[in-house]
Amino acid sequence: MMPDEPSDALLIRVSGADHPGITADLMTLLDLTGTSVQDVEQVLVRGHLTLAVAIDRPGSDLTRLTGMLEHFGQERRLSVTLEEIPAPKGAAGGPRRGHGPGHALETELSAAELGAVAGAVVAAGANIERIVRLARYPVYAYEFLVRGADRVELQRLLAQASTAHSLDVALQPAGLERRAKRLVVLDVDSTLIQDEVIELLAQEAGCHHEVREVTARAMSGELDFAEALRARVRLLEGLDEAALDRARSRVRLTPGARTFVSTLKRLGYTIGIVSGGFTPFTDHLRSELRNRPRGRQQARMA
């Protein structure tokens, strides 16, 4: 089972009769050995599991990993092999985020994070039937198809995994209705963009601390949204128009936002953005995301 020649990456293949917990336990094993996961795919056909995990070469711990995988296979009565694979040329490493019976995104999904999602599924009494990677750059996204869980309990456990590992997880029914949806609406502040627009303006007005205090009071329930918004806008009184341009130039799209929007548009979706903030910023974002960036050759000719 030990690869003879070193390469950049290894592929673990697991196959055999399916039973709950295989994926979660394998990820726990990889986490214990400090092994980095590059990719995961899983399929279940008539009770027969095929699971493939691409990993970074663990270096000096390869012998330990090999032994643990052999024990894992024997204990579970599964076929487990480890083989060399060439690293994908030009693949972007890094960021990822997870999906449960829905999805997960992040800039770097570790075995522990994937295992947390898989473990939540098992703890909810469900079984993973399929794992498919939806994206690898600029963020990682996986879809888990699961069956057999109580939705409320699964949602609770996935929320715990999401909080513990800073993952974005969406839980959705798998069916034709989900596939037929063609409208996606995104919040702007701290979702489509990394910033809070009103805080960017507060920095221009020199009242950032005061605005954050009002925001904190609203978050704690002391003020309702409308009251808090009016209080924060009053603090911006006297701000000149040039400050809007300066603040707008500092807005940062969330990693993956542009790719997410362009991909959905290519698939025929309608995209909407909503904000309790300021139309000069939402209008700018709408214009920027509506226009596709030009290719390198076109850019040189401009």
Residues 173 and 223 reside in one and the same domain: no
Q: Whole domain around residue 79: which residue ranges? A: 1-178
The domain boundary, picked from 134, 151, 178, lies at 178
Q: What DSSP state is assigned to residue 220?
A: T
- Beta bridge partners, 48, equal 17, 45
SS3 content of the chain, % helix, strand, coil (to 5): 45, 25, 30
3-state DSSP assignment of residue 140: strand
CA atoms within 13 A on the CB side of 282: 15
Residues 193 and 171 reside in one and the same domain: no
DSSP for 163-219? HHHT-EEEE---SHHHHH--EEEEEIIIIIBSS-HHHHHHHHHT-HHHHHHHHHHHH
Cβ contact 256:169 at 8 Å: no
Determine, yes or no, domain membership for 300.
Answer: no
Residues 174 and 57 reside in one and the same domain: yes
Residues 174 and 276 reside in one and the same domain: no
Written as tens digits, the pLDDT of the chain (302 aa) is: 444 445 578 999 999 999 999 999 999 999 988 898 989 999 999 999 999 999 988 766 788 899 999 999 999 999 999 998 865 555 444 433 333 344 444 456 889 999 999 999 999 999 999 999 888 877 788 999 999 888 999 999 999 999 999 888 988 888 777 777 789 999 999 899 999 999 999 999 999 999 999 988 888 888 888 889 899 999 999 999 999 999 999 999 998 889 889 888 888 889 999 987 789 999 999 999 987 554 433 333 22
Res 23: pLDDT: 95
Look up the CATH number of the domain holding residue 31: 3.30.70.260
Determine, yes or no, domain membership for 299.
Answer: no
What gap in Å lies between CA 126 and CA 149, rounded to an integer?
A: 4
In total, how many domains does the chain have? 2
Res 259: pLDDT: 87
Residues 154 and 251 reside in one and the same domain: no
Residues 136 and 246 reside in one and the same domain: no
Distant-in-sequence, close-in-space partners of 178: CB < 8 Å, separation ≥ 6: 172
Res 268: pLDDT: 87
Q: What DSSP state is assigned to residue 100?
A: S
Determine, yes or no, domain membership for 204.
Answer: yes
Residues 172 and 234 reside in one and the same domain: no
Task: Tell me, yes or no, if 187 is annotated catalytic.
Answer: yes
Task: Tell me, yes or no, if 240 is annotated catalytic.
Answer: no
Determine, yes or no, domain membership for 302.
Answer: no
What gap in Å lies between CA 199 and CA 256, rounded to an integer?
A: 23
Catalytic residue selected from 61, 187, 245, 283: 187
Residues 43 and 81 reside in one and the same domain: yes
| Helix and strand totals (H; E) in the chain | 12, 11
Look up the CATH number of the domain holding residue 246: 3.40.50.1000
- Beta bridge partners, 184, equal 271
Nearest to 247 by CA among 198, 187, 191: 198
Residues 32 and 162 reside in one and the same domain: yes
**Relative orientation angle of helices 208-219 and 197-205, to the nearest 10 degrees:** 150
Residue with tokens 């214990």, as numbered in its chain: 32
